[in-house]
Amino acid sequence: MKFRALRSRVQTVLAVASLTVLTVAFPSMAAEQERGLDRLTEGPVAMARARVAADVLMSSYDPEKAWFPSSWWNSAVALQTIGDYMQRTGDRRYLGQLDNTFEKDKGVFPAGVLSGDPLLGNFTSRAIDDSEWWGLTWIQAYDLTRDPKYLDMAVTIANYVNGYWDTGTCGGGVWWDGERTYKNAVTNGLWIRLTAELHNRIPGDTLWLGRSRTAWAWFQGSGMINADGLVNDGITQACTNNGQTVWSYNQGLAIGAGLELWRATRDPSILTTVRRLADAAIGPKGLVTDGVLTESCDASDQRCDDNAKQFKGIFMRYWTDLVDTTHDGGYAAFLDRQAEGIWANDRDAAGRLGTRWSGITNDDHPNVFDWRTQASALSALIGDVPAFTPIESLAATLSPAQPVVIPAASGATAIPLELRASATGYLPLLTLVSVDAPAGWSATPRAKLLTLKPRGNANPVSGTLPLQVTVPSQATDGHHTVTAKLVAGLLRFSTEADVLVAHTIDFDTGTVNENPWLFDPDRSQSNGVQNRFADGNAHFTYRFPFPADTTAAQVTLTIDAEYLVQASSDNETWTTVLHETRPITDGSNKGVQTIDLTPFLRAGADGTKPVYLKVSDSFPNDGWGGRVYHVTANIVE
């Protein structure tokens, strides 16, 4: 379990010095010293992991529409997660994106632009819970910046939501939708948290506190908390528990709502209820399988929809609040276990984090990786960072994280990699970088010193180191790992590149097997059922690095909808090779199409003959762009 107590740099230095003295005096205590040093480095490692994951998440942020593609409430949660990250680590690089969203998306929008519902302005819509998510996001932005415009927006949203508090049905509660058809846990958990947060930030407030107290009392008596201390989805029209799924985010929101209200009131009965909810969540009938937080749709024969992909992250946001508030060792151990497990089992070489934190996957129901799953798992990594920000940290990534090699008939193939290191702190870090490659391969350089000069935590500094890995012609097909290890004093971090050696290309889209070939996903999407599509002005590009001795090649696509397919030898000059000229939106044109790539085989700067294949939308105004299911490509002998 990580140290979460406050500590200063002086305390850290003294602790290291004390361990060193003890080891000199008592050599038998060497093992204990090692364990002590490990503990001192855990906080910086946790912060470095969170930074890597946050950067991956923000690579999906669309600066033009100022959101994460095609999901309105999920975008609010993802941005709040980034706010959590900045608050926890001191890294302030993404404040601009928060403000970009605030300024661009606060207006009125018709249905289909940012949400399936019309947006009414000020981040409100008929989806009352969506409105509340945005309210919490802007309170987080206020906490980071102290700019009153964010808090004012949260008040505006809360006033709108208050219009849907109704005592005429079931004695109270906020309606889930503008049509007033359902009262449920998520909307009312959000309402308690939102009103309590407003009270705790508005001097002299009594209005929001009164509303929060009333909502908490109603929620406790609503019947939504069942006999096992678990929160079902909502209540029936007869005002009884509807017995629907216990989703992790409902449980987490009930915990978070109580914690914020407890801070406002210091009422011990509230904290007692919070502990009961928390204990039930990780108890025998709760939400944990083999120590891992698990949604019901995480089962290996099921698939979580785009909403459920983010539920566990919401739970972990408020579980982190629970740990920070109670300092309970058992709760902290559970949080640490989730973060460690995600990093070890649910992360690919590109730093993407999946929906199943256990890492379980199969061909029919693969573990899905997208920005929603990234935001969710990131919340656990953020919680693992000590509440008192570590003085310094060291992180790194390798790019490309998943390079591909199609070996030539003879001779070795060289692939360029770039190590990007980042650091926070107040003193220069002389960092030793060492590179490990598979047996029979070579890496240049194998070791190198890299100096990083951080200036605090607000803007991590970066440094790069070019590398070259040589793959022998006899390398076997499959995935091979190249590892870069960084050491700077007590700081340690390692990163990997997953090199795929493949004589043939054959993959389903929307799966992990697609990743090494996906050169530029742009704003394309995959719904996790083995397809990838690009609507409007979005596109996606594959890169096939054929060896220098290739004289002819072809690619075969299973494709439908309104596709435009173009090929290029340099990713700049494009030639149309497939074009659906009919406005087809029902998939009736799904078929197998083979394209001759031979005209595009030209020597590239890296010694290969790369071919780029881009899929986009032939009718960008109607939202049914090219959709690809399967790709095969091969050298023609």
Q: Which helix (H) or strand (E) holds 553?
A: strand 553-560
Helix and strand element counts for the chain (H, E) = 13, 23
pLDDT in tens, 162-175: 999 999 999 999 99
> pLDDT tens digits for 40-65?
679 999 999 999 999 999 999 999 99
CB 252 within 8 A of CB 274: no
Q: What is the pLDDT of residue 27?
A: 40
Where does residue 623 fall: left (phi above 0), alpha (psi -120 to 50 degrees), or beta otherwise? left
Instruction: Judge if 393-501 and 505-635 fold alike in CATH terms.
Output: no
pLDDT in tens, 553-563: 999 999 999 99
- Tell me: pLDDT of 530 over 90: no
Given a cut of 60, is residue 33 above it in pLDDT? no
What is the DSSP secondary structure assignment for residue 354, as one 8-state letter?
B
**Measured in whole angstroms, how far is the alpha carbon of residue 214 from the centre of its chain?**
35
Cα pseudo-dihedral 598, 603, 606, 607, rounded to 10:
90
Domain covering 505-635 in this structure, CATH number: 2.60.120.260
31: Cβ contacts below 8 Å, ≥ 6 apart = none
The CA-atom distances, in angstroms, between 543 and each of 103, 353, 511, 517 are: 37, 23, 16, 6
Residue with tokens 């960008």: 620
pLDDT at 10 exceeding the cut of 50: no
Query: What mean pLDDT do residues 348-368 have?
Result: 91
pTM exceeding the 0.85 threshold for the entire prediction:
yes
Q: What is the rounded CA–CA span in Å between residue 610 and residue 604?
A: 7
Predicted confidence at residue 409, as pLDDT, reads: 73
Q: Directed axis angle between helix 185-199 and helix 248-265, to 10°?
A: 30
Domain residue limits, the chain: 393-501, 505-635
**Per-residue model confidence (pLDDT) at position 623:** 84
527 confidence band (pLDDT: 50, 70, 90): confident
If you average pLDDT over residues 264-268, what whole number do you get? 98
Q: pLDDT-derived band of residue 620, with 50, 70 and 90 as boundaries?
A: very high
Between CA 493 and CA 105 the distance in angstroms is 38
Taking residues 209-231, report their average pLDDT: 98
Residue 545 reports pLDDT greater than 50: yes
Closest CA to 158 of 195, 103, 212: 195
Q: Is the pLDDT of residue 519 over 50?
A: yes
pLDDT digits (tens, 9 = 90+) for 79-101: 999 999 999 999 999 999 999 99
pLDDT greater than 80 at residue 74: yes
The confidence band for 528, taking pLDDT boundaries of 50, 70 and 90, is low
Mean pLDDT value across residues 509-513: 85
The residue among 193, 180, 91, 198 whose CA lies nearest residue 127 is: 180
Predicted confidence (pLDDT) per residue in 280-313, tens digit: 999 999 999 999 999 999 999 999 999 999 999 9
Local confidence band at 390 (pLDDT 50, 70, 90 cut-offs): very high
Kindly state the average pLDDT of the residues 69-79: 94
Per-residue pLDDT at 15 exceeds 90: no
pLDDT over threshold 60, residue 161: yes
Of all residues in the chain, what percent are helix, strand and coil, respectively (each to 5)?
A: 35, 25, 35
511: confidence class by pLDDT, cuts 50, 70, 90: confident
The mean per-residue pLDDT over the stretch 243-249 comes to: 98
Neighbours of 267 (CB within 10 A): 14
Three-state SS at 44? helix
**Class of 393-501 in CATH:** mainly beta
Q: What percent of the chain has pLDDT over 70?
A: 93
The pLDDT of residue 363 is 78
Average pLDDT of span 567-582: 97
Q: Rounded to an integer, what distance in angstroms lies between the CA atom of residue 423 and that of residue 430?
A: 11
| Element (DSSP H or E) covering residue 49 | helix 30-58
- Cβ neighbours around 201 below 10 Å, total: 15
Average pLDDT over residues 597-614: 92
Mean pLDDT, the chain, rounded, equals: 92
